[in-house]
Structure 1
């Protein structure tokens, strides 16, 4: 360009005549003209390229959008004044969600002509001329977004606004804008202008009414502001309502309590702007314009009123389904925007944005949510819980300080219950009990409170991993003597010590603590991690918690929910596979399209062999252990049932979880202990919770016996080996060296089940996990006749109760000598001299000793004072008028259940 200019200047310097000047001037003009043409062409090419790229970008954004049919669009455009409907299983309706907006749809013919003219003049004066979008307005909106200058709504036609309200979410991304344009043109193609205008006027949000409620549609606005129908609105009233959509919260005349605001000047100014635009567009005459401006609109505002409340019958179900569906929609919205749910949870403000979007969708659009909850079973279980709640324990009344107001108030603390009925094979939550009184506390104790699981965690975290890794068999011996681990001194229930070796089977049946701690300690020292198994079953604990020995007794920092515990326990009934539990089965959008369908997810946790052995061992809990009362409290056969009890420190929590082939039912009772209180259950809480469990199970069986499959046996799979072992040592029968003589030990035998490994050979020591030299010496001396206190229960704590009373309180010994077990491998079976007996008392009068080749009968009698025999050893009220009450928060760890390094507390005693 510089050289061209120099050439032009040099050319003019060489002019010698007017003819030369004219010639060279024409040449210069031609060059400049061509330069201008090239610039214009370049600009045109660049604009074309930009437009092409823009169209390509829009095409790419909308390429993944499913094109709705006319009927689908019609359904969504007319879907106003609706909300999500919640359903039980089998098409039984729970409730429709309470709307955040109130209103009624009316046809265009029932709206004041002033109103329709005012809206068009104000929101989209070219409404009847464009094809759904306005290019110049769109360009202005894009420029506004890029530069930040101007309003954000300048590019939206009435058609676009209708599409945004009815067909799209409220996000403000470029993708949503592109889809909005695409759908607006499609809507304009299929529907008349009057149909679109009618949809808009019925869908628009228009501030609050005189009851403080958010309103939707012009009919609700006319009724809620002026007390008349939309057809009867005068010009000034129509103009006022037509001005509301731009900023409803600012221009609305009422506050959240339905009172007229002190300052309504902004709404009045907006009304005058609407009137002017109507006059400018020749929609009204000058005299109409002036009269409407002078009209005293404030006198037309109706007086404050009181909003009616809606009674919700199934409050716990209502809240649960709302919460879980909202979460599903949040994940869906975030995924559509390329954001993972884990990333979203880290950003509170972003999460709140998606929370609001999902919540608005649920409360203002006609979704359908189908759940897994069986209405009959839910009603049956809750009726039993309601009928039995007065027996759960003392309801305490205290004074406390309200954290919100600071005032002193009276609070009631009843014993709460959380229960879950789970279908083992599918993971469906068939029914649950959320609490004893929804009206007073909306906290869902089945899903939302974390409590110490007590001993109910033992099979999951300790015994199943031990069997899976070949550490123990069902009759392997564990030490139950006074012990201490770096200052931590566990005891059994009631601060007792059994002072003997106990089989793994009996440890679970009677829920002894010291043997469990010894076994968990052994697993940790030998590199067996329980964490991997627990994670697969849906229970997530910290690495530090797994390092604490008290975790095997339920000593967690955060605790577990009833749902988590029931789901994890169902793994054994599922032959070692864990199925994720769920409540929401599917979600259908307003067009009838299923946007969410639960997908079953299974994980192999334990082998079927390990699961069978655990089932077999836990069957004894029900037949003659800590839950033996169920044998006569249940109205169905418990021959194929297994379960586990659990109690945390100071009777803070009590659990029972029972499984058949078909279902797992978990029940927890305890106090919430809000406001810093410290109430505990009664000492007979194990009995109480089991009676409640049996009542609920009986009700389920009466209504739907087929789902429980109580008659289906858990057949022993191949790979489970049964070994004859000595009942006293858990080893193979054989001989030992005792006082310089070889003694044959084979008097009492039983069967021990193994998945991996096999019983140890008979030896003097080292046959029991956690056993010490002095323990073995005490055992063998007693075995061969000395009355040395082996097996005599020791009480470390101060208690006025006898060992027998403590055993009965723990649920032990209630069916002494009785068992309805049909398992040949049951712990009640003892083989003595080739014959079978159902007693567990020790008699050694036929023992023999061997010294060289000479065999003589010793004639020694069994240890007197022993108490090792199992018979004597220690061992729907959710109706409410509130929508989404929050209640309180659950107590993590339930006060004092965390593991401690010192002391002699009996953590998770039972």
Structure 2
């Protein structure tokens, strides 16, 4: 005590000296101003109380001033804060009760995928799985544990914790602390369902406003149910991240949430504070060796329940003594992936949805599709963002695919894949293991059914096996391209009519030789309709050679939606037979064919009908944007010509295989060189169904199909068509006969020349053209004059042979089929 008294006396002496110094300065100023001086007795042991009193008075005055300044600052700060709060509230959109209810009830954060007609498909794969339940399906122990642990005052508060507000203000203006903490259950629901995880003052204000509004509109039971379905609970015994009390109960204890015991409920209730720390399972789904952190957290929850009066002392001690470890499930290695059965659909729909959202995000940032196409890094950036939205925002993606139709098509391919051709097996040494591995390579199939008017994908077959969706792989179209690249543009530009003659003689093109299927040459002039029906190659090449001299064929195929062909493709005569650098996809080919049954308008194929946000707002809706490619007259003429493929051409076998009226069925077969690719694309007035079969040959193999593969594919196509027609007959519109438009000109022409009967001169000889006639369909006014050189691609030698034949020389070889062995097999 003596030392303390000494220190105090020294401090007072020092303060007195400083005070005396200040008074001396003050007196000097006073004398300078001729003012009265201030006199104080010298500082001594007798006068120090006086000096102490002066110091205390001065300190008191300073305190008063400080308190006044602080009070004024506090009032100013509160006013400023109130104004800031009011400004945030004023600028924040106030959601309606209906909108809040939709969002509150939408606890499935992962996007839902749907077939057509709102038939559920599955969820988008996510790191987080969740199942929602009603509150009456949750054990009372769980409800008590959550409230005692997370928000003891839950039933009494207005949805907001005052201490959380104070903490947020302090953090915002002092920069001390980055976590707001202490939120009520209602505020946690707001953070998880309505807002992002950003911890700013503005977000906190919005959180408070939403919490108050939710507490006003909804019961405590509604709020508690939402929390229990939203909260994350670590991992399950498969290593999956889980959320929702039902998923946690199943994943940890293999029971429903309503059946959880007190020890189990307390353990689960402790998980949300730090799921990754307290979860009993590893990322692989095995039980952790050390689960003491989770058990200790369970004990904390039990104590809080006991403290809150939710459980008795006996229940508390019994729960502490319970050996919970034996209740945890063992590691589960079995997959329960709901997307396995519909893997092709799942991948197609999610891929398309991701592309749509990516385009929307890019557009919002001022980028066009062209920007994305030329910058792969930029495109990947937005695709990544879109994937995040699909896995976290609870969208609803509605597709156009009819589930029943899709299922029936899968049944057909499963039952008929063995007929496609040989399944080859190959063995190779695995470079990593050094062991032999065997791989099978079956004949694959890609088929797609489209709505002609809208372009909607109704159903499809992605493949016989594997993950590759074969409606998107590019393959040589063979002769199935002829209506698109040759005959359609030729009719449109009045290069030919339906009965115009095309030369089918041995050709003499520089660096290019062509024959009909099987190396045959017909050695005669053939009408455009018959040439298309029988898929003769030489007439198609002659017509394409003539056509490209005055017509931009590329513009037509581009408008038809085919964008995979190259400039090199268009420069080659082989394009008329499907010779391409990369080929076309099944979907694009089918989509192009819909044009012939849609009045000459092409509408791109699509699979996403709409995308909705969790609040039910449509953020994307598909709108058809048809492009007029051909006139209605051309479309009608092509329908008549392509119907001949069914009645008397390469697809005539369909007539006795189909269960519906084929009177209005049109189509075209296609075979590439060496039977690598086999096609048939057929259309009714309502739908188009395309089928391709072939080997992938992805590992350097070069397997080909058999020569009978075209008939095999036709039989398979018929079974697909029959199965789908049975389900959606009205969509097929099979009995809807097309009306002939006014632009079609009809004329009667000679069957051999495609021109009017009459007299013509050839090489100084007059020939009377008469005999059988046919009706020629022409886009616009049909030609009325007759000439001796009537066919496209014919040489003087060909005409000489023809006119000799007409003149009576029937054995001159005209019309006699010859074969050049080793030639191509396109059909």
TM range (shorter): 0.7 to 0.9
| Inter-partner Cα distance in structure 2 for 1:75 and 1:605 | 45
Pairing of 1:385-534 with structure 2 (within 5 A): 385-400=413-428, 408-436=436-464, 440-445=465-470, 447-483=471-507, 487-526=511-550, 528-534=551-557
Shift in Å, 1:643: 1.0
Structure number with the higher helix fraction is: 2
- Tell me which of 548, 567, 584 is aligned to 1:544: 567
| Inter-partner Cα distance in structure 2 for 1:173 and 1:530 | 60
Structure 1 residues 503 and 248: alpha-carbon distance in aligned structure 2, compared to 1, 3 A threshold: farther
| Inter-partner Cα distance in structure 1 for 2:609 and 2:204 | 32
| Inter-partner Cα distance in structure 2 for 1:250 and 1:353 | 28
| Inter-partner Cα distance in structure 1 for 2:552 and 2:652 | 32
Pairing of 1:502-651 with structure 2 (within 5 A): 502-526=526-550, 528-549=551-572, 550-586=574-610, 597-651=621-675
Give 5+ residue unaligned stretches, structure 1.
1-11, 22-32, 786-842, 846-859, 876-903
Shift in Å, 1:633: 3.0
- Tell me which of 681, 685, 688 is aligned to 1:664: 688
Shift in Å, 1:682: 0.9
Shift in Å, 1:465: 1.9
SS in 2 for 1:215: strand
Q: CA RMSD in A?
A: 5.2
- Tell me which of 69, 73, 92 is aligned to 2:100: 73
The corresponding residue for 1:865 is 813
The corresponding residue for 1:790 is none
The corresponding residue for 2:25 is none
Cα shift readout 1:296-330 (whole Å, capped 9, x = no counterpart): 98787554345563677952575267526743883
C-alpha contact 1:334 1:341 (8 A) present in aligned 2: no
| Inter-partner Cα distance in structure 1 for 2:447 and 2:201 | 47
Pairing of 1:101-140 with structure 2 (within 5 A): 101-103=129-131, 105=133, 106-107=137-138, 109-111=140-142, 113-120=144-151, 130=160, 134-139=164-169
Structure 1 residues 543 and 141: alpha-carbon distance in aligned structure 2, compared to 1, 3 A threshold: farther
1:357 has 2:382 as partner = no
The corresponding residue for 1:776 is 795
Pairing of 1:130-529 with structure 2 (within 5 A): 130=160, 134-139=164-169, 151=178, 158-167=185-194, 183-192=210-219, 195-218=222-245, 220-221=247-248, 224-225=251-252, 241=268, 244-245=271-272, 248-249=275-276, 251-261=278-288, 303-307=330-334, 309=336, 315=342, 318-319=345-346, 322-323=349-350, 326-327=353-354, 330=357, 334=361, 342=369, 346-361=378-393, 367=396, 369=398, 371-373=400-402, 375=404, 377-400=405-428, 408-436=436-464, 440-445=465-470, 447-483=471-507, 487-526=511-550, 528-529=551-552
| Inter-partner Cα distance in structure 2 for 1:102 and 1:194 | 20
Structure 1 residues 657 and 224: alpha-carbon distance in aligned structure 2, compared to 1, 3 A threshold: closer
Cα shift readout 1:193-225 (whole Å, capped 9, x = no counterpart): 564344223321121123323222345445644
Structure 1 residues 432 and 114: alpha-carbon distance in aligned structure 2, compared to 1, 3 A threshold: closer
Which stretch has the larger CA shift, 76-85 or 252-261?
76-85
SS in 2 for 1:676: coil
C-alpha contact 1:243 1:271 (8 A) present in aligned 2: yes
Cα shift readout 1:731-788 (whole Å, capped 9, x = no counterpart): 56666654444555556654432225744854455x544x3xxx52212321243xxx
Shift in Å, 1:555: 3.1
| Inter-partner Cα distance in structure 1 for 2:701 and 2:512 | 27
The corresponding residue for 2:4 is none
Cα shift readout 1:626-651 (whole Å, capped 9, x = no counterpart): 11222333344433222111112221
Shift in Å, 1:358: 0.6
Shift in Å, 1:226: 6.3
SS in 1 for 2:652: coil
Which structure's relative contact order is higher, taking Cα pairs within 8 Å and 6+ residues apart? 1
Cα shift readout 1:561-581 (whole Å, capped 9, x = no counterpart): 323222211111111122343
Shift in Å, 1:457: 1.6
C-alpha contact 1:420 1:433 (8 A) present in aligned 2: yes
Shift in Å, 1:668: 1.7
SS in 2 for 1:111: helix
Shift in Å, 1:355: 0.6
Pairing of 1:791-806 with structure 2 (within 5 A): none
| Inter-partner Cα distance in structure 1 for 2:167 and 2:514 | 76
| Inter-partner Cα distance in structure 1 for 2:79 and 2:328 | 55
Shift in Å, 1:387: 3.3
C-alpha contact 1:84 1:369 (8 A) present in aligned 2: no
| Inter-partner Cα distance in structure 2 for 1:319 and 1:530 | 36
SS in 2 for 1:778: helix
Give 5+ residue unaligned stretches, structure 2.
1-28, 39-63
The corresponding residue for 2:826 is 909
C-alpha contact 1:725 1:752 (8 A) present in aligned 2: yes
C-alpha contact 1:75 1:591 (8 A) present in aligned 2: yes
C-alpha contact 1:133 1:184 (8 A) present in aligned 2: no
Structure 1 residues 170 and 525: alpha-carbon distance in aligned structure 2, compared to 1, 3 A threshold: farther
Pairing of 1:717-796 with structure 2 (within 5 A): 717-725=741-749, 727-730=751-754, 738-743=762-767, 745=769, 750-756=774-780, 758-759=782-783, 761-763=785-787, 767-769=790-792, 771=793, 776-785=795-804
Shift in Å, 1:512: 2.5
TM normalised by structure 2 equals: 0.75
Structure 1 residues 759 and 484: alpha-carbon distance in aligned structure 2, compared to 1, 3 A threshold: same
| Inter-partner Cα distance in structure 2 for 1:53 and 1:533 | 61
Shift in Å, 1:411: 2.5
Pairing of 1:818-833 with structure 2 (within 5 A): none
Which stretch has the larger CA shift, 555-564 or 400-409?
400-409
TM normalised by structure 1 equals: 0.69
1:844 has 2:806 as partner = yes
1:652 has 2:676 as partner = yes
Cα shift readout 1:370-397 (whole Å, capped 9, x = no counterpart): 645162x445444443333322222223
| Inter-partner Cα distance in structure 2 for 1:351 and 1:192 | 40
Shift in Å, 1:508: 1.5
| Inter-partner Cα distance in structure 2 for 1:41 and 1:596 | 54
Cα shift readout 1:120-153 (whole Å, capped 9, x = no counterpart): 48x9999777269944454577689xx8x96567
| Inter-partner Cα distance in structure 1 for 2:235 and 2:388 | 19
Shift in Å, 1:620: 1.4
The corresponding residue for 2:720 is 696
SS in 2 for 1:309: coil
Cα shift readout 1:821-855 (whole Å, capped 9, x = no counterpart): xxxxxxxxxxxxxxxxxxxxxx625xxxxxxxxxx
The corresponding residue for 1:827 is none
Larger Rg: 2
Structure 1 residues 15 and 448: alpha-carbon distance in aligned structure 2, compared to 1, 3 A threshold: farther
Structure 1 residues 640 and 125: alpha-carbon distance in aligned structure 2, compared to 1, 3 A threshold: closer
C-alpha contact 1:747 1:844 (8 A) present in aligned 2: no
Q: How many matched pairs?
A: 761
